[in-house]
């Protein structure tokens, strides 16, 4: 009996370091997640966000009913219970910005960025993994804190003060939007850190953009202030968590238009950081 065999061409082993990109991306993202969760400062930062955001909502909700009778008729008419419960998100935005800066700048400060880039020479992939992992964490934390702050604040905001429910027009958008703004501002801070590479400098730039620039713009003539002010991150954030827009002090973009502008800021910062990351030494 004769057996006929067909020769099988051997498959050359894949060269080292040429794993499919989606597998490499998954591995790099997993490594970035390990870095983020294994640092104590991450958990202290998130704890500070929770205490400040929910604490301010609780304080405001508990004290406003006692002051309701002394408020003017205009203040009662324009009262925005949703905004009152979510105003503590400003501190979450500052804190998440600090964490976003540390995600990148801490590696430059300790010199471990060299090991990271030696292990993953694809520098845009490193930045994308850092941004993706951090954005996921910031979004989940931001949304959870936004909803918790809203429910805590509205529970304590008893009669005679008015309160809001998620079913009312604009309320769910404001609560969800608050968490979205937290995540995007964190990405903006990460982009600034990628450009600047120094922790103190990047935090200063972020705080200046968020808090100092509005004060500078406020000192300009009214026409210029109103034209520029609506594009500032702080004003966009305030608009997003506001339901009764008649209570806003100055003209503003619509909530989602402002959010699109904020996303553009973060994209520009990350894009500039990615370009610099690939064109200069670690």
What is the structure's pLDDT at 20? Answer: 57
Cα angle 173, 175, 177; round to 5 = 60
Element (H, E) at 280: none
Q: How far apart are CA 207 and CA 176, in angstroms?
A: 23
Tens-binned pLDDT, residue by residue, of the chain (282 aa): 344 444 434 433 444 445 555 558 889 999 999 999 998 889 999 999 999 999 999 999 899 888 888 888 887 888 899 999 999 999 999 999 999 999 999 999 888 999 988 888 899 999 999 999 999 999 999 999 999 999 999 999 888 888 889 999 999 999 999 999 999 999 999 999 999 999 999 999 999 999 999 999 988 888 888 889 899 999 999 999 999 876 566 778 899 999 999 999 999 999 999 999 998 886
pLDDT, residue 272, reads 97
Residue pair 123/117 in contact by the 8 Å Cβ criterion: yes
In tens, the pLDDT along 95-149 reads 999 999 999 999 998 889 999 888 888 999 999 999 999 999 999 999 999 999 9
Gap between the Cα atoms of 216 and 218, Å rounded: 5
pLDDT of residue 205: 97
Q: What is the pLDDT of residue 9?
A: 41
pLDDT for position 99: 95
Q: What are phi and psi of 17, to 5 degrees?
A: 80, 10
Burial class (CB in 10 A: 0-12, 13-18, 19+), 22: exposed
Q: Are 188 and 207 in contact (CB under 8 A)?
A: no
DSSP letter at 245? Answer: G
**In degrees rounded to 5, what are phi and psi of residue 8?**
-105, 125
Sign of CA dihedral 64, 66, 67, 68: positive
The pLDDT value recorded for residue 4 is 45
Evaluate whether 191 touches 99 at the Cβ level (below 8 Å). no
- Report how far residue 168's alpha carbon sits from residue 77's, in angstroms, rounded to the nearest whole number: 17
Largest CA distance in the chain: 106
- For residue 5, the model assigns a pLDDT of 43
- Nearest Cα to 274, choosing from 134, 124, 132? 124
Tokens describing residue 112: 């471990």
Show Cβ contacts of residue 124 under 8 Å, excluding neighbours closer than 6 positions.
274, 277, 278
To the question of pTM greater than 0.85 for the whole model, the response is yes
């Amino acid at each position: 009996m004769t057996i006929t065999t067909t020769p099988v061409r051997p498959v050359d082993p894949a060269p080292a370091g040429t794993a499919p990109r989606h597998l490499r991306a998954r591995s790099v993202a997993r490594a970035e997640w390990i870095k983020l969760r294994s640092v104590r400062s991450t958990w202290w930062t998130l704890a500070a966000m929770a205490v400040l955001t929910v604490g301010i909502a609780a304080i405001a909700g508990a004290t406003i009913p006692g002051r309701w009778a002394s408020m003017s008729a205009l203040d009662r008419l324009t009262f925005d219970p949703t905004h009152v419960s979510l105003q503590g998100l400003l501190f979450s935005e500052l804190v998440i910005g600090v964490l976003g800066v540390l995600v990148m700048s801490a590696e430059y400060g300790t010199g471990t960025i060299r090991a990271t880039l030696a292990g993953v020479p694809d520098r845009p992939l490193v930045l994308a993994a850092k941004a993706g992992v951090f954005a996921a964490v910031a979004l989940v934390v931001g949304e959870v804190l936004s909803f918790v702050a809203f429910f805590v604040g509205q529970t304590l905001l008893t009669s005679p003060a008015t309160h809001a429910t998620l079913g009312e027009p604009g309320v769910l958008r404001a609560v969800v939007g608050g968490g979205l703004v937290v995540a995007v501002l964190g990405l903006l801070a990460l982009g600034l850190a990628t450009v600047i590479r120094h922790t103190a400098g990047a935090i200063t730039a972020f705080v200046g953009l968020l808090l100092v620039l509005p004060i500078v713009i406020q000192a300009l003539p009214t026409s210029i202030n109103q034209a520029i002010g609506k594009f500032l991150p702080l004003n966009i954030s305030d608009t997003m968590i506001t339901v009764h827009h008649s209570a806003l002090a100055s003209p503003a973009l619509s909530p989602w238009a402002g959010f699109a502008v904020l996303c553009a800021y973060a994209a520009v910062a990350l894009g500039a950081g990615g370009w610099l990351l690939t064109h200069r030494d670690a």
